[in-house]
Amino acid sequence: MKRSDLRGWRILVRAALGAAGLIFACAMVFLIMQLSGKNSLAQENRGAVPLLSQSALTDGGIIDLNGWQEGDVRYQGVHYRYNKDIMTFLFLGIDKMEEVGPVEDQLDGGQSDAIFLLVLDPHKKEISVIGVNRDTMTDVDVYNWLGDYLNTVTLQLCLQHGYGDGAQVSCERSREAVSKLFYGLPINGYCAINMGAIPQINDAVGGVRLTALEDVPRTDIKEGDEVLLRGMDAYYYLHNRDTTKAESARRRLERQKQYISIYAETVMASVKANLTLPVGLYRIVDKYMVTDISVNEVSYLATQVADYHFDTDHIYTLEGETVMGERYEEFYPDERALYELILKIFYEEVE
């Protein structure tokens, strides 16, 4: 073999080894991200259980304590136990267009116009989504403009995020309020996104095609139209509502549910081909987002949920009644229906 040929082979071998090393390094980084994400999520799930067993809705009378554990529930003759492996995340859509930044005071955190719980069940390999009406009347912690706690009163749930810094403080208070509404449900993480990021999230998957459920104020979108939502149209579809009409928040929630189901199906299909897509979406909205879910956790979750089942049958909303308050609409959830929904999604029957 000529010296020039030998030199060429050495260059090829070095290049191949370098490429293999780069691939190996990338694989190791990805694996470390997954393991780090798994461990941190496991630490978030501290073993707490909802306080359903302390509710007046549980069965009275004598309970057979054989096989009974703390936190178990007996309801309508059935023994239930909380699924401690389940992971629950709170997602909030905040009524701000700009990137996340400093606020003027502790009353300027922004209202949460969209409130959803994303539930991952590793036992059933299922994803469930619970949409919560923004006008749900519940305990809200009220603060003054300096951030000093004043009182806890019954207000619309969307207002809780406003009492804070528009960032971590607002999100932590919102998580606490939602958790209390769901009988102390453990929530593993939160993600609040200023709704100005919606066009970017939407267009990152090529847009969302759907049939409009109703006329959308300040747009040309009419009920029954087949539309491909791109750019600001996606924002308008998810955000705008006619406040002069009764239950406009509930109808907008139906639009949000519809959009989420189609968007989720699109993302789930894409993730199977590209596990890095969720991380890419994470980085797209980074400046608009406040979250305690790390990139490592997103990477781990992407690998876990790629084969999970999700469809419109797994999107739920709270049952209840909307009434007109002194100034704004108020939604009062049906306590029994909420109780039974928690049992259905977060608990398992004990044989």
301-339 tens-digit pLDDT: 878 887 888 888 899 999 999 999 988 899 999 999 999
Q: Does pLDDT of 34 surpass 50?
A: no
pTM above 0.85, yes or no: no
Q: What is the pLDDT of residue 31?
A: 39
Percentage of the residues of the chain whose pLDDT score is greater than 70: 83
pLDDT at 27: 36
Strand partners, 137: 156
Single out the residue of 54, 90, 287, 65 nearest to residue 188, CA to CA. Answer: 90
User: Residue 211: pLDDT above 50?
Assistant: yes
Separation CA 348–CA 342 (nearest Å): 10
pLDDT for the residue 102: 86
Q: Is the pLDDT of residue 95 over 80?
A: yes
- Look over the chain and give the mean of its residue pLDDT values, rounded to a whole number: 84
Length of the chain: 351
275 and 87 Cβ atoms separated by less than 8 Å: no
DSSP letter at 174 equals: H
Tell me the pLDDT band of 37, cut-offs 50, 70 and 90. very low
Q: What is the pLDDT of residues 104-147, one digit of tens each?
A: 888 899 999 999 999 999 999 999 999 999 999 999 999 999 99
Q: 84-349 has which CATH code?
A: 3.40.630.190
Q: Are 125 and 308 in contact (CB under 8 A)?
A: yes
pLDDT of residue 288: 95
Report, as an integer, the average pLDDT of 229-244. 93
At residue 350, what are phi and psi to the nearest 5 degrees?
A: -100, 125
Q: How many Cα atoms occupy the beta-carbon half-sphere of 260 within 13 Å?
A: 27
